[in-house]
Amino acid sequence: MTDKDIIRKRHVNGLRLAATVGTGINFTGIFVAILTNAGWASELAAQLFTIFTLIGTAIYLLVAIFVNAKNYNYLLALLIFWFLVSPWLRRAIFGIDDGVVDYMNTYGGRGLDFQFIWVSYGMILAVLLSRFYLSLCLIFYNYFINAFYASFIIFNPKTFFTYDHATITTNLYAMHGGIFNQNAVITTFSAIALITIAWSMQRNLKDATDHERSNNLLGRYFSPEVRDEIEKNKDKHDIDEEKEQQIAVLFTDISNFTKLSEGMKPKDVLALLSEYQTKMVAAVFQHGGSVDKFIGDSVMATFGTPFSKGNDAQNALNCVRQMQIAMRDWEEERKEKNLPIVKHRIGVHFGVCFVGNVGSSERVEYTVIGDTVNVASRICDACKEIDAEVLFSSKIMGQLNEKLGSEVVSKFSIRGRKEKIDLHKISV
């Protein structure tokens, strides 16, 4: 999963959360509008507000239920459109009611006290989108729309601010200065706080993306148990640190793969390789190993990277046993389906390797390098000459916790090397 995919996943969740909260708030509005008159003087305004609320609820519900990575941009655009137009539609509906009631001559300056009701609603939903710059724009949009509508009351020639309670209670056009100051401060503070929360969410998103990317990268190489150990003890197990250590290296490849794949469609070849590699990786991870790489029909695995999991040679042997069990089960499955039988070869060696990240600034790979790797690969190749399915070197045999019966092939010449080694042909 790329950074883009991880971020998109977080954005989808944010849009779904905003739509879900919006749905909940609008459902409350629907019940209020249906069960009561909600203070409307105009029947038309009451009906229009009910329709307005139903439309908003339908949009929020649509987004909450159906949003996914593919349609995210379209549904985000729909919700932003609703965020932008809904304050004006709401104002237009209140304007119809105003035509009946004449708010200014009915409520006078006290209408300012109710001007701050809707602004926080829009700002909170904007923050839940989990997109800092978009949230910032929508918060300012709601804030300034509220200020714009409030200005009609504040700058009306009839209204005036006062702190005198007697005047406030007797003069219709008196605006309560204390309540206005309180509402203005709370709204401004809320806007600042929500911007800070949006910024914090953006930072958390980056941290979460880095963490998830790290987990995804670790998951490519290491078993879940090893990955969790690395995450819990980053200081103790720094996989970015290059070092030399003794490890077991295992290679597998499919016997007669060229002949087996001859005449197969490319997608069928890929399916075969994927099924084989899945079985091999499962065995490697089950016994504390790490998958270094796939090379065509071959799998390279290591035991002891990034840190030892006990007796790494013994873990490699246990892995080989599990691989052979998986191959025998697979053989029976393919026989039942009248498919060609798949055989493979395994070579295992033990020794010192360089372990760490190698590559360029554009691409880095965590891998192992050294003579031990080359020898393990050659041992796997030697299975063809010796007619063996599993070959171990003497070095790995000497590390095992158990006495393992084997047929010894003495002083075998490894291709590309002058030094001869003893190999052990093993049946597991």
Q: Are 262 and 123 in a shared domain? A: no
pLDDT reported for residue 236: 47
Antiparallel, parallel or unpaired: β 420-425 and 407-413: antiparallel
348: pLDDT strictly greater than 90: yes
Determine the Cα–Cα distance for residues 36 and 16; give it in Å rounded to an integer: 30
Lowest-confidence segment of 281-285, 390-394, 401-405 by average pLDDT: 401-405
pLDDT reported for residue 43: 86
Q: Are 354 and 396 in a shared domain? A: yes
Q: Are 176 and 263 in a shared domain? A: no
Type of residue numbered 188: T
pLDDT reported for residue 110: 87
Q: Are 253 and 202 in a shared domain? A: no
* Helix spans in 102-156 (H): 103-107, 119-128, 132-154
Q: Are 176 and 254 in a shared domain? A: no
- Taking only the tens place, the pLDDT of each residue in 49-91 is 888 988 999 999 999 999 999 999 999 999 999 999 999 998 9
pLDDT reported for residue 273: 92
- Taking only the tens place, the pLDDT of each residue in 271-308 is 999 999 999 999 998 998 888 888 888 999 999 888 78
222: pLDDT strictly greater than 80: no
Tokens 């004006």 sit at which residue?
88
- Nearest one of 205, 203, 393, 383 to 316, comparing CA atoms: 393
Q: Are 308 and 186 in a shared domain? A: no
Q: Are 250 and 198 in a shared domain? A: no
Q: Are 352 and 248 in a shared domain? A: yes
Q: Contact 3/213 with Cβ under 8 angstroms? A: yes
What band does 1 get if pLDDT is binned at 50, 70 and 90? low
229, part of any domain: no
Answer with the one of 185, 218, 251 that is the final residue of a domain.
Answer: 218
Give the Å distances, CA to CA, from 257 to 341, 348, 375.
11, 20, 22
Determine the Cα–Cα distance for residues 372 and 365; give it in Å rounded to an integer: 18
Please indicate whether residue 50 or residue 204 has the higher confidence score (pLDDT).
50
Of 67-71, 99-103, 107-111, 205-209, which one has max mean pLDDT? Answer: 67-71
Q: Within 10 Å of residue 384's Cβ, how many Cβ atoms? A: 12
Tokens 């031990």 sit at which residue?
372
Q: Are 171 and 293 in a shared domain? A: no
Q: Are 159 and 246 in a shared domain? A: no
Determine the Cα–Cα distance for residues 198 and 135; give it in Å rounded to an integer: 7
> What residues does 112 pair with on adjacent strands?
none
Q: Are 266 and 353 in a shared domain? A: yes
Q: Contact 347/232 with Cβ under 8 angstroms? A: no
Lowest-confidence segment of 75-89, 95-109, 203-217, 295-309 by average pLDDT: 203-217
235, part of any domain: no
408, part of any domain: yes
What domain range is 27 assigned to? Answer: 3-218
356, part of any domain: yes
- Taking only the tens place, the pLDDT of each residue in 307-334 is 788 899 999 999 999 999 999 999 999 9
Antiparallel, parallel or unpaired: β 243-254 and 298-303: antiparallel
Q: Within 10 Å of residue 309's Cβ, how many Cβ atoms? A: 18
Q: What is the pTM of this model?
A: 0.54
224, part of any domain: no
Q: How confident is the prediction for the chain on average, in pLDDT? A: 85
Q: What CATH code is carried by the domain that includes residue 371?
A: 3.30.70.1230
Q: Contact 187/146 with Cβ under 8 angstroms? A: yes
| Domains held by the chain: number | 2
Please indicate whether residue 153 or residue 5 has the higher confidence score (pLDDT).
153
232, part of any domain: no
Tokens 């020794």 sit at which residue?
351
Determine the Cα–Cα distance for residues 300 and 151; give it in Å rounded to an integer: 72
